[in-house]
C-alpha cells in the first residue's frame, strides 16, 4: 500500500507564507540550496512524532483569487518507479500538471490533476537525480 509521506505548499510570497505558518503552527523552514528554483523544507514537528514534513515552493504564477475552485496543499506519494507510476496515473484518467523533474541528489517528482482537478505529486527516491 502506498501512502502520503510529504506535502508541498505553493506560494507567491515565500516570506509571507513562512511567517504565517511559523506563527500559526511553529513550523520551521530551511532553504534547499542545491535547487535551481526557490524551495524550502518544512519541519512540522519533532522527529519520531506522528505526522509528516514537507516543502514550500514558489508558485508558478499568481496566487489564485478567492473564488478559485482549487487551493490546496499538495500531497506527494512515494513510489518505487516514477515512470511506471506516471503511466498508471494516466491510464486511470490523471492529467499531467507539472512535468517530471529532478530534485538534485534526492529524486524525481511529477504532478498530476486527478479527474476532479485536484493536484497531487509522485516522488521517487534517487540519489543520482540531476
**DSSP reduced 3-state for 20:** helix
Per the prediction, the chain carries an average pLDDT of: 87
Q: Higher-confidence residue: 63 or 36?
A: 36
**What's the domain range around 106?**
4-63+72-125
Residue 130 lies inside a defined structural domain of this protein: no
Question: Cα–Cα distance between 80 and 65 in angstroms, integer?
Answer: 36
- Residue 78 in domain: yes
Number of separate domains in the chain:
1
Task: Identify the band that residue 127 occupies on the pLDDT scale cut at 50, 70 and 90.
Answer: very high
Neighbours of 54 (CB within 10 A): 21
Considering only residues 109 and 60, tell me which one the structure prediction assigns the higher pLDDT: 109
- Summarize pLDDT for 6-23 with one digit per residue, the tens: 998 888 889 989 998 999
Residue 114 lies in a domain: yes
Nearest to 120 by CA among 79, 65, 84: 79
CATH number for position 79 = 3.10.180.10
- pLDDT tens by residue, 55-90: 998 888 777 765 665 556 688 888 999 999 999 999
19 domain-assigned: yes
Closest CA to 111 of 65, 63, 62, 77: 77
Q: Global pTM?
A: 0.70
Amino acid at each position: 500500500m502506498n501512502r502520503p509521506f510529504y506535502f508541498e505548499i505553493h506560494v507567491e510570497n515565500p516570506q509571507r507564507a513562512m511567517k504565517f505558518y511559523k506563527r500559526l503552527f511553529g513550523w520551521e523552514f530551511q532553504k534547499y540550496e542545491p535547487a535551481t528554483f526557490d524551495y524550502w523544507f518544512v519541519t512540522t514537528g519533532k522527529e519520531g512524532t506522528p505526522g509528516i514534513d514537507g516543502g514550500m515552493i514558489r508558485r508558478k504564477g499568481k496566487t489564485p483569487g478567492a473564488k478559485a475552485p482549487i487551493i490546496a496543499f499538495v500531497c506527494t506519494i512515494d513510489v518505487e518507479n516514477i515512470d511506471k507510476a506516471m503511466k498508471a496515473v494516466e491510464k486511470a484518467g490523471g492529467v499531467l500538471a507539472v512535468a517530471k523533474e529532478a530534485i538534485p541528489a534526492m529524486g524525481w517528482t511529477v504532478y498530476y490533476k486527478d479527474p476532479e482537478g485536484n493536484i497531487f505529486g509522485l516522488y521517487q527516491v534517487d540519489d543520482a537525480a540531476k
